[in-house]
C-alpha cells in the first residue's frame, strides 16, 4: 500500500476526527489516482489513518479508518452498513414511513457515497470516480448486510462521459411510479428518471410539521413547488386550498399525480406553471394573500428573464413573500445552500422583515433529519436550514 506523510496540522486534524483530506495536507502530493487506498503517516512515520483518494467538491480524499489493524475490504464496508442499519432501525420499523436515507456519506463513515431507500429499492449516489472504483465491493458488502433488497439503482454525481447519470444495477426494476409512504402520505416516485426522484427526502420533518401544524383550514402557497410535495402535505393536513407555483412544465403533471395518489382531486387545487416572481406580481394585482407560504428555492437558478441566487436574492424574495402572507400567517423559509451559514440566513430574514417594518417570531428551526447523519467533525455537511416564521404586524 502507498504510504504518505501528512503535514503536522493535517495529522492533528485527522487524529481529531476530521474526515476530509486536501492535497495541501500531504508533505509530498500523491500522484493523482482516483480510488487508491493510501496509508497516512505522521512526522515520525507512525500510522495515522487509511484513506482513499478522490477528487470531489468537498476535497481530495476521505479518511476510512484510524485503526491500523483494519483492512479496507468487503468486511470493512459491511461493518459500516451494519452500523447504519442499526441506527435506522426505528425508521425501518415505522410502517408509516418507508423512504429515508440509509447511509449518509461521511456521517456514516464513508465520504462520497449516499444510499436512500424507497420502499425496499435502494439508490446509491456516487460522488467521485474514486469511490466508484470500489462499487463492486461496496455493493457486495451492502447485499451481504441488508435483507429485503428488491432492487438497486445508482446515480452518478460526478463528471464522466462513460456512464449514464442513472442506472438500474441489481434485482428487480421498480414500478413507475413507485409509491412510497412518508408519515402516512403517499408519494409517487421515479427511481430511474435523471438524478431526481420526485421527492426530497431531507424535508421529511418539514412536511410533517406542515401536515400537523400549519395547514388545518389554511390557504397554503407553495413556491418553487417541484412535484408539490409540500402542497400535498398541506392538503392532507386539512388546508382549505393549496396553490403550487413552479416554472418547470413537468411540475404540472407531477403535482397532479401527487394529489391523485393520495385520493385528492387536483382540480380542487391550484397548480401554476410560472415564474414565482411573476406570480408575486399577479398575486398582488389580484390581492391574494395566504395563511401559510412555503419558499424553498434552488441555491441557484437561471430562467429566461433572470438569475436567482440564494446568497444574493433571498432577502428580496422574502420581502415579496411577506407582502402576500396574511397577518399572523406563517412563512416556511428553506434553503439547502451549503455555503450559506445559519447566521447569514437569519440575517436575511431579519433584514427582510426590517425593510417591511413588520415584526416576526421564529416558531421552529429545522435542519437535516436524523437519518441524514452528520459527522460531528464535519458540520459543514449540515446544509439544510428551514425556519418557520410567524408574520406579526
Ligand atoms: N420545494 C420543493 C423542491 C424545490 S426544487 C420540494 O420540497 O419538493 C426547486 C424548484 O424550483 C424546481 O422544481 C425548479 O423548476 C423551480 N424553479 C427554479 N426557478 C424558479 C422560478 N424562478 N420560478 C418558479 N420555479 C422555479
Q: Is the CB of 301 under 6 A from ligand 1?
A: yes
Q: Give per-residue pLDDT as tens, 319-360.
A: 999 999 999 999 999 999 999 999 999 999 999 999 999 999
Distance (angstroms) between ligand 1 centre and the Cα of 251 equals 9
Calculate mean pLDDT across residues 162-190. Answer: 97
Q: Are residues 100 and 50 in the same domain?
A: no
Does the CB atom of residue 276 touch ligand 1 within 6 A? yes
Q: If you measure from the C-alpha of residue 323 to the centroid of ligand 1, how many angstroms do you get, rounded to a whole number?
A: 20
Say how many Å lie between the CA of residue 50 and the centre of ligand 1.
Answer: 41
pLDDT at 306: 85
Mean pLDDT, to the nearest integer, of 15-37?
A: 94
Residue 297, SS3? coil
pLDDT confidence bin for 90, thresholds 50/70/90: confident
Looking from the CA of residue 227, the nearest atom of ligand 1 is: 8
Residue 384 φ/ψ, nearest 5 degrees: -85, 135
Say if 355 falls within a structural domain. yes
Q: Which three cell numbers stand for residue 266?
A: 387536483
pLDDT reported for residue 383: 97
CA of 305 to the centre of ligand 1 (A): 15
Residue-range definition of the domain harbouring residue 119: 74-175
Task: Based on the fold, state whether residues 60 and 78 are members of the same structural domain.
Answer: no
Strand 47-56 relative to strand 59-65, pairing: antiparallel
Which of 221, 224, 298, 305 to probe ligand 1 with, by most ligand atoms within 8 A of CB?
A: 224
Q: Contact at 8 Å (CB) between 268 and 262?
A: no
Residue 276 CA to residue 64 CA, distance in Å, equals: 44
Q: From ligand 1's centre to the CA of 21, what distance in Å?
A: 34
Q: Are residues 13 and 135 in the same domain?
A: no
Atom of ligand 1 nearest to the CA of 278: 23
pTM above 0.75, yes or no: yes
Domain boundary among 46, 65, 84: 65
Q: Report if residue 39 sits inside a domain.
A: yes
Q: Are strands 151-156 and 121-126 parallel, antiparallel or unpaired?
A: parallel
Other Cβ atoms less than 10 A from the Cβ of 54: the count is 27
Which CATH number goes with the domain that contains 282? 3.40.50.150
C-alpha cell at 151: 432492487
Atom of ligand 1 nearest to the CA of 207: 7
Q: What was the pLDDT predicted at 313?
A: 96
DSSP state of 41: E
Indicate which residue's Cα is closest to atom 12 of ligand 1: 226
- What rounded mean pLDDT belongs to the chain? 97
Measure 197 CA to ligand 1 centroid, in angstroms.
Answer: 14
Write out pLDDT tens, residues 51-61.
Answer: 999 999 999 99
Closest alpha carbon to 66 in 147, 129, 6, 133: 6
Indicate if the pLDDT at residue 93 is higher than 90: no
Residue 33 pLDDT class (50, 70, 90 cuts): confident
pLDDT confidence of 305, banded at 50, 70, 90?
A: confident
Kindly state the average pLDDT of the residues 171-183. Answer: 98
Residues 352 and 261 in one domain: yes
> Domain containing 33 — which CATH number?
2.30.130.10
Per-residue model confidence (pLDDT) at position 92: 79
126-164 confidence digits (pLDDT tens): 999 999 999 999 999 999 999 999 999 999 999 999 999
Please indicate whether residue 229, judged by its CB atom, sits closer than 6 Å to ligand 1. Answer: yes
- Does residue 184 lie in a domain region? no
Q: What is the pLDDT of residue 230?
A: 98
Looking at the DSSP assignment, which residues form a beta bridge with residue 364? 388
Residue nearest (by alpha carbon) to ligand 1 atom 21: 275
Place 31 in a pLDDT band, splitting at 50, 70 and 90: confident
Residue 3 makes CB contacts below 8 A (sequence gap 6+) with 38, 39, 40, 41
Cα separation of 387 and 331, whole Å? 8
Same domain for 88 and 129: yes
Which of ligand 1's atoms lies nearest the C-alpha of 226?
13
pLDDT at 303: 78
Q: Which of 21, 36, 65 is the last residue of a domain?
A: 65
Counting Cβ atoms within 10 Å, is residue 241 exposed (0-12), middle (13-18) or buried (19+)? middle
Query: Looking at the domain assignment, is residue 185 inside a domain?
Result: no
Give residue 252's pLDDT.
98
pLDDT band per the 50, 70, 90 thresholds, residue 19: very high
Shortest-distance Cα residue to atom 20 of ligand 1:
247
Q: Are residues 60 and 82 in the same domain?
A: no
pLDDT classification of 310: cutoffs 50, 70, 90: very high
State whether 219 and 272 are in the same domain. yes
Report if residue 186 sits inside a domain: no
Q: What is the rounded CA–CA span in Å between residue 318 and residue 331? A: 9
* pLDDT of 253 strictly over 90: yes
- For 354, residues 6+ apart whose C-beta sits below 8 A from its C-beta are none
The C-alpha atoms of residue 294 and residue 323 are separated, in whole angstroms, by 14
Nearest residue (CA) to ligand 1, atom 13:
226
Residue 385 pLDDT exceeds 80: yes
* Cα–Cα dist 298/340, whole Å: 13
Q: Is residue 100 part of a domain?
A: yes
User: Please, what is the angle between helix 310-323 and helix 276-285, to 10°?
Assistant: 20
| Ligand 1: residue whose CA is nearest its atom 16 | 224
Residue 188 lies in a domain: no
Q: Is 203 in the pocket of ligand 1 (CB under 6 A)?
A: yes
Q: Whose CA is nearest to atom 3 of ligand 1?
A: 226
Lowest mean pLDDT among 25-39, 103-117, 259-273: 25-39
**The last residue of a domain, from among 141, 175, 209:** 175
Does 236 share its domain with 150?
no
Report the percent of the chain where pLDDT is more than 70.
100
Ligand 1: nearest atom to the Cα of 245: 24
CA 378 to chain centre: 16
Mean pLDDT on 110-138: 98
- The residue whose CA has the least distance to atom 9 of ligand 1 is 298
Considering the domain architecture, whether residues 238 and 260 belong to the same structural domain is answered as yes
Same domain, 364 and 232: yes
Q: Is the shortest distance between the CB of 138 and ligand 1 below 6 Å? A: no
The response to whether residue 187 sits with its C-beta less than 6 Å from ligand 1 reads no
Cβ neighbours for 228, distance < 8 A, ≥ 6 positions apart: 222, 242, 244, 251, 254, 255, 258, 259, 271
Domain count, the chain: 3
Is residue 180 in a domain?
no
Peptide bond into 177 cis (omega under 30): yes
CATH number at residue 151: 3.30.750.80
> Within this chain, do residues 139 and 219 fall inside the same structural domain, yes or no?
no
- Pair 228, 369 in one domain: yes
Amino acid at each position: 500500500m502507498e504510504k504518505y506523510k501528512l503535514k503536522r496540522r493535517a495529522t492533528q486534524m485527522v487524529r481529531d476526527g476530521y474526515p476530509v483530506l486536501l492535497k495541501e495536507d500531504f508533505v509530498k502530493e500523491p500522484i493523482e489516482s482516483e480510488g487508491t487506498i493510501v496509508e497516512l503517516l505522521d512526522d515520525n512515520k507512525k500510522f495515522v489513518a487509511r484513506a482513499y483518494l478522490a477528487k470531489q467538491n468537498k476535497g481530495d480524499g476521505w479518511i476510512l479508518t484510524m485503526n491500523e489493524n483494519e483492512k479496507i475490504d468487503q468486511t470493512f464496508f459491511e461493518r459500516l452498513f451494519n452500523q447504519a442499519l442499526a441506527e435506522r432501525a426505528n425508521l425501518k420499523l415505522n410502517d408509516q414511513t418507508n423512504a429515508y436515507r440509509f447511509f449518509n456519506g461521511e456521517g456514516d463513515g464513508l465520504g462520497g457515497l449516499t444510499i436512500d431507500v424507497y420502499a425496499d429499492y435502494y439508490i446509491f449516489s456516487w460522488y467521485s470516480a474514486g469511490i466508484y472504483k470500489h462499487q463492486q465491493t461496496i455493493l457486495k458488502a451492502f447485499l451481504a448486510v441488508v435483507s429485503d433488497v428488491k432492487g438497486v439503482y445508482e446515480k452518478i454525481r460526478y463528471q464522466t462521459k462513460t456512464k449514464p447519470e442513472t442506472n438500474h444495477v441489481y434485482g428487480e426494476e421498480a414500478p413507475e411510479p413507485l409509491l412510497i409512504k412518508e408519515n402516512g402520505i403517499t408519494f409517487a416516485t421515479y427511481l430511474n428518471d435523471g438524478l431526481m426522484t420526485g421527492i426530497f427526502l431531507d424535508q421529511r420533518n418539514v412536511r410533517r410539521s406542515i401536515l400537523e401544524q400549519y395547514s388545518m383550514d389554511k390557504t397554503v402557497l407553495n413556491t418553487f413547488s417541484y412535484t408539490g410535495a409540500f402542497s400535498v402535505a398541506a392538503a392532507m393536513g386539512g388546508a382549505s386550498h393549496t396553490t403550487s407555483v413552479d416554472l418547470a412544465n413537468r411540475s404540472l403533471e407531477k403535482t397532479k399525480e401527487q394529489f391523485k395518489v393520495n385520493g385528492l382531486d387536483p382540480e380542487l387545487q391550484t397548480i401554476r406553471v410560472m415564474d414565482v416572481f411573476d406570480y408575486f406580481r399577479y398575486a398582488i394585482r389580484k390581492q391574494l394573500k395566504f395563511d401559510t407560504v412555503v419558499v424553498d428555492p434552488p441555491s441557484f437558478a437561471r430562467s429566461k428573464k433572470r438569475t436567482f441566487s440564494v446568497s444574493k436574492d433571498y432577502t428580496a424574495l422574502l420581502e415579496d413573500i411577506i407582502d402576500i402572507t396574511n397577518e399572523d400567517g406563517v412563512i416556511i423559509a428553506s434553503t439547502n445552500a451549503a455555503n450559506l451559514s445559519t447566521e447569514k440566513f437569519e440575517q436575511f430574514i431579519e433584514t427582510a422583515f426590517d425593510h417591511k417594518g413588520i415584526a416576526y417570531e421564529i416558531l421552529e428551526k429545522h435542519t437535516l433529519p436524523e437519518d441524514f447523519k452528520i459527522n460531528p467533525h464535519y458540520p459543514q455537511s449540515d446544509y439544510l436550514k428551514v425556519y418557520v416564521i410567524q408574520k406579526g404586524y
